[in-house]
């Protein structure tokens, strides 16, 4: 399959709609509905679970099961404390970055709908430059224009309301996708495109394919932990994002060297099953798909770990999309990498035979 034109006008429209919809950890279901609606023509059935993970299944009756997976949730904040004069203090829901908060608009999700707010910050004129305080979770606050706590509550805002950023999808210099929540809405998009291509190219797989969009990755891989027990797969290929380490203030000696535009990133880690990883690399070389390598040490920090160490051990591997500015509202990826991750997953699936164990002892 050629690299060109994987992403078409319809899939780009889906990506924009999918990204612009808020899907904070624990509140992913509206995004899942958008994802399922797009996938409906290309799959046989859907599985959903109590906490909102969605799985699109091809060949549901097959005994041998292969998962391709991304996660659907995005980082956010919770309202934690409301002051007497109507300001809101927050706690994290996932790995939200306190440093980017000041002067950002926010959407507070309430039963009455979205309430707008801003992260305030003391003006430069009022700060002591000799001992400037930097933003941290304890001192960032949201102003919703309320005069006191009673007005906050009248507006429908209470402790526990979830808070997201309203930033939407943009294309930078023709081939860079920029948005909040590319981590890991891009994963859900890429696995959906794999399913679409299998359908459009009339590929018949000798196994059941479980296209899995897990919830709650950002707070500890929880959605994947739940759904792997339901599916009980034989193989799992996970896709998430990793860092472009070529931008300023990142130490390559610590983080390794990976960059946007240089291809999918294949991880080395104890959770990554070596024979499956080598199959992916051999496929990339055979199909002339560029790739990069990343060493992840004790764990990958992705849903790969949840699948690998479940059900007595599931052959699992990780194909990552390099991304700039992770957990900001301007996460940035290269369109070429997106298409090449899709290609690499697609082509790898076509090499997997029913009943393969990937055992080191066969």
With 0-12 / 13-18 / 19 or more C-beta atoms within 10 angstroms meaning exposed / middle / buried, residue 124 is: exposed
Gap between the Cα atoms of 138 and 135, Å rounded: 8
Nearest to 85 by CA among 21, 150, 41: 150
| CA 340/CA 322 separation, integer angstroms | 11
Active-site residue (options: 69, 193, 217, 331): 217
In this structure, the strands spanning 235-243 and 265-268 are: unpaired
218 annotated binding-site participant = yes
Which sign, positive or negative, has the C-alpha torsion 170, 7, 341, 38?
A: positive
CA-CA distance, 243 to 320, in Å (whole number)? 9
Distance spanning both ends of the chain, measured CA to CA:
31
- At 264, phi and psi to the nearest 5? -55, 150
Are 330 and 170 within 8 A, CB to CB? no
Residue 217: active-site member: yes
Nearest to 74 by CA among 207, 179, 176, 192: 179
Which DSSP letter does residue 84 get? Answer: T
Q: Residue 327, annotated ligand binder?
A: yes
Neighbouring C-beta atoms of residue 188, cutoff 10 Å: 31
Which H or E run includes 315? strand 315-323
CB 342 within 8 A of CB 6: yes
Residue 154 burial (C-beta neighbours within 10 Å; 0-12, 13-18, 19+): exposed
What sign results for the dihedral spanned by CA atoms 3, 171, 258, 21?
negative
- Please indicate if the annotation marks 84 as binding a ligand: no
Prior bond of 184 cis (ω within 30°): yes
Q: Any binding-site annotation on 128?
A: no
Residue ranges for the known binding site are 71, 183, 218, 240, 327
Give the annotated binding-site residues for Zn(2+).
71, 183, 218, 240, 327
Residues with a catalytic annotation lie at: 217
């Amino acid at each position: 399959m050629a690299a060109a034109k994987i992403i078409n006008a319809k899939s780009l429209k889906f990506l924009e709609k999918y990204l612009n919809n808020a899907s904070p950890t624990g509140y992913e279901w509206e995004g899942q509905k958008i994802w399922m609606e797009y996938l409906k023509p290309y799959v046989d059935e859907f599985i959903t679970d109590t906490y909102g993970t969605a799985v699109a299944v091809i060949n549901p009756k097959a005994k041998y099961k292969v998962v391709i997976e991304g996660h659907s949730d995005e980082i956010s904040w919770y309202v934690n404390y409301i002051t007497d004069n109507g300001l809101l203090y927050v706690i994290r829901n996932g790995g939200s970055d306190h440093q980017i908060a000041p002067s950002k608009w926010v959407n507070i999700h309430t039963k009455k709908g979205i309430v707008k707010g801003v992260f305030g910050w003391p003006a430069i004129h009022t700060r002591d430059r000799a001992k400037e305080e930097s933003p941290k979770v304890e001192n960032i606050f949201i102003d919703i224009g309320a005069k006191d706590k009673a007005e906050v509550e009248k507006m429908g805002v209470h402790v526990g309301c979830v808070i997201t950023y309203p930033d939407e999808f943009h294309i930078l210099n023709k081939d860079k996708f920029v948005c909040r929540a590319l981590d890991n809405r891009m994963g859900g998009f890429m696995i959906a495109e794999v399913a679409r291509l299998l359908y459009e190219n009339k590929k018949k797989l000798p196994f059941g394919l479980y296209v899995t969009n897990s919830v709650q990755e950002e707070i500890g891989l929880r959605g994947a932990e739940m759904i792997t027990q339901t599916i009980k797969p034989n193989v799992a290929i996970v896709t998430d994002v990793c860092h472009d380490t070529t931008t300023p203030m990142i130490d390559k000696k610590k983080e390794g060297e990976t960059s946007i535009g240089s291809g999918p990133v294949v991880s080395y880690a104890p959770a990554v099953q070596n024979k499956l990883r080598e199959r992916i690399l051999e496929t990339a070389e055979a199909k002339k798909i560029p790739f990069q390598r990343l060493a992840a040490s004790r764990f990958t920090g992705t849903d790969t770990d949840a699948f690998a160490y479940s059900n007595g051990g599931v052959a699992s591997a990780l194909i990552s999309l390099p991304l700039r500015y992770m957990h900001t509202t301007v996460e940035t990826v290269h369109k070429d990498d997106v298409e090449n991750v899709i290609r690499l997953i697609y082509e790898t699936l076509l090499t997997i035979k029913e009943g393969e164990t990937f055992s080191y002892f066969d």
